[in-house]
Amino acid sequence: MPAVQAKSVSCPNCGGPVQLRGFANTLSVVCPQCLSVLDASTPEVQILQKFQGKTQVKPRIPLGVRGKIGDTQYEVIGFQVRQVSTGDDSYSWDEYLLFNPYKGFRYITEYNGHWNFVRVETALPEQLHARGKPAVRFGGKTYLAFDSMRASTVYVLGEFPWKVQRGDSVACQDFVAPPSMLSSESAGGEITWSRAEYMTGPQVWQAFKLPDSPPPAYGIFANQPSPYGASVATSWSTWLWLNVALAALIFFFMMFSPGHVAFSDHYAYAQGVTSSLSLGTDSSFVTPAFQLDGRDSNVELSIQTDLDNNWAYFNFALINDKTGQAFDFGREVSYYHDSDGSDGNRTNSVIVPAVPSGQYYLRIEPEMATGSPFMRYELELRRNVPNYGFFGLAFLLLLIPPGFTTLRRGSFEAARWRESDYAPSMSSSGGDD
């Protein structure tokens, strides 16, 4: 069978040629010479409406241009300007009709440099309420009511698969789930639902291979995807991974770099009995000397005891063998337990910061309550232990980037919803801008 031919007709108003790109799908067409709207549904073309206006509009995407969206090539065959009047104010958007002889019709809309690719949907959205607003559920997504308006066709060019007229008016309602938007148009009791997907100007320019550059986008459009939407999720997942790395680092330090042991020994303490395995007259005694190396850095003294429902107090002095400089400190260790649970810990530790290198010894003086039994304990002195406080600081610093991105998204969403009929009441008195 031969290919279906595109036809052209003569304008009954001015006699000029009128090309039909949509084959027999075209029910009305605008004469490109005199802008009369013609009825193309019958072989005898008739005038539906003559052009009375003064200004002509030049579409940003010319009629007849083809572009590829997804896998499908579409040709721009129709164009209309649709206007909304709100009291003394009015605004308008442009709507391009796209055609493919197999896949059918789609639309592209443009408002202030924001573009949408639109298709008519046949399934019915489910009406509901979400986040305090009317909403619809469609295709697994919840769309929040954004605004409603009455839109009138004020200018037309090209072809349409219905009988278009300037002055056609429909009631519209928009529901958003960025980057998608679901819109209803109702006229004559029929409701048509369509779904729009946000496109940027450069995406449209690339799809239709248009010259020059697209108009800049002003403001934030109803279904414009938040530039922070994805980055918020990314920044929090980065945060999570950095925390995992931080935990691994802590684990690594604890396992493999717990400082260098400068001194350790075992002792026993019993009241009245002079100390221990080491020398000493009363409960106080000194250790043999040991070396602390390197730059000024901390030492950690940890105490491990076998206390059982008892306490002990340790007075320590870390004394430089040469200069006599002493670091005095003390620690209590207590451990109690009964059938209800336990309190305290058999071990304790203390960090002494900024100890210069040199030869040192410890003076140790344990104390216990009178009548206490025998206690065994172990002391370990480590040089240059990791400071876990830095990890805490790192944890707080890591919170800054995702926190900041989250705040930015919040202000973007606030700006979006300021344009809505459902703007938060705080900004509804802010007036129009």
Partner 1 sequence: MSGPTANCPNCGAPVKFLWSSAVQTTCESCHSILVRTDVDLKKVGEVADLPADASPIQIGTEGAYQNKSFVVVGRIIYEYEQGGWNEWHIVFNDGSSGWLADAQLEYDLSWLSKPPQPLPPSTDKGQTFQWQSKNYQVTSVTKAHYKGVQGELPFEYWDKSDLIFADLRTTSADFGTIDYSEKPPLLFLGRAVEFDDLHLKNLREFEGWT
Q: Is residue 134 at the binding interface for partner 1, with CB under 8 A as the rule?
A: no
Q: Which of 10, 90, 112, 191 binds partner 1 (CB under 8 A)?
A: 191
Residue 285 found at the interface with partner 1 (CB under 8 A)? no
Tokens of 331: 């620690």
C-beta neighbour count of 235 within 10 angstroms: 19
C-beta closer to partner 1: residue 53 or 101: 101
Give least dist CB 26 to partner 1, A: 8
The maximal CA–CA distance of the chain, rounded, in angstroms, is: 126
Closer to partner 1 by CB, 190 or 340: give it.
190
- What is the nearest approach in angstroms of partner 1 to the Cβ of residue 9? 12
Nearer residue to partner 1 within complex by CB, 209 or 337: 209
| Least distance in angstroms from the C-beta of 120 to partner 1 | 7
Helix 400-418 vs helix 229-256: crossing angle, to nearest 10: 170
Q: Does 100 bind partner 1 (CB under 8 A)?
A: yes
Q: Per CB under 8 A, does 104 bind partner 1?
A: yes
Indicate the burial class of 136 (C-beta count within 10 angstroms; 0-12, 13-18, 19 or more).
buried
Q: Which among 199, 227, 201, 197 has a CA at the least distance from the CA of 214?
A: 201
Question: Contact with partner 1 (CB under 8 A): which of 10, 90, 120, 373?
Answer: 120
Binding footprint of partner 1, residue count (CB under 8 A): 34
**Interaction of residue 67 with partner 1, rule CB under 8 A:** no
CB 362 within 8 A of CB 319: yes
Binding of residue 6 to partner 1 (CB under 8 A): yes
3-state SS assignment for residue 213: coil
Distance CA 273, CA 377 (A): 15
Instruction: Pick from 19, 41, 165, 200 the residue near partner 1 by CB under 8 A.
Output: 41
Closest approach, Cβ 35 to partner 1, in A, equals 23
Q: Taking CB under 8 A as the rule, does residue 27 contact partner 1?
A: yes
Q: H or E stretch including 7?
A: strand 7-10
Residues in the chain: 433
Question: What is the rounded radius of gyration, in angstroms, for the C-alpha atoms of the chain?
Answer: 40
Is 22 a binding residue for partner 1 by CB under 8 A? The answer is yes
Rule CB under 8 A: say whether 256 interacts with partner 1.
no
Strands 17-20 and 28-30: unpaired
Q: Which of 57, 93, 103, 284 binds partner 1 (CB under 8 A)?
A: 103
Region of 18-26, 166-174, 259-267, 391-399 interacting with partner 1 (CB under 8 A)? 18-26
Q: Rule CB under 8 A: say whether 130 interacts with partner 1.
A: no
**Dihedral, CA of residue 419, residue 423, residue 425 and residue 429, to nearest 10:** 10
Q: Is residue 261 involved in binding partner 1 (CB under 8 A)?
A: no
In the numeric block, which tokens belong to residue 422?
A: 């459902």
Question: Smallest gap, in angstroms, from Cβ of residue 41 to partner 1?
Answer: 7
- Concatenated DSSP letters of 282-351: SS-EEPPPEEE-SSSEEEEEEEEE--SSEEEEEEEEEEETTT--EEEEEEEEEEEEETTEEEEESEEEEE
Neighbours of 267 (CB within 10 A): 19
Q: How far is the CB of 189 from partner 1 (least distance, A)?
A: 6
For 148, residues 6+ apart whose C-beta sits below 8 A from its C-beta are: 171, 172, 173, 174, 421
Residue with Cβ nearer partner 1 (99 or 205): 99
Q: Where are the extended beta strands (E) located within 37-103? A: 37-39, 46-49, 66-69, 72-86, 89-100
Rule CB under 8 A: is residue 125 a binding residue for partner 1?
A: yes
Binding segment for partner 1 among 95-103, 167-175, 200-208, 289-297 (CB under 8 A)?
Answer: 95-103
Q: What angle do CA 37, 11, 25 make, to 5 degrees?
A: 60
- Closest approach of partner 1 to the CB of residue 103, in Å: 5
The CB-of-220 to partner 1 minimum distance in angstroms stands at: 30
Tokens encoding 62: 């010319």
Select the span of 100-108, 207-215, 349-357, 411-419 touching partner 1 (CB under 8 A). 100-108
- Pairing mode, strands 66-69 and 285-286: unpaired
| Shortest distance in whole angstroms from residue 424 CB to partner 1 | 30
Q: Is 191 or 369 the residue whose CB approaches partner 1 more closely? A: 191
- Is residue 163 a contact point for partner 1 (CB under 8 A)? yes
Q: Which residues bind partner 1 (CB under 8 A)?
A: 1-6, 22-25, 27, 41, 43, 73, 100-105, 120, 122-126, 137-138, 161-163, 189-191
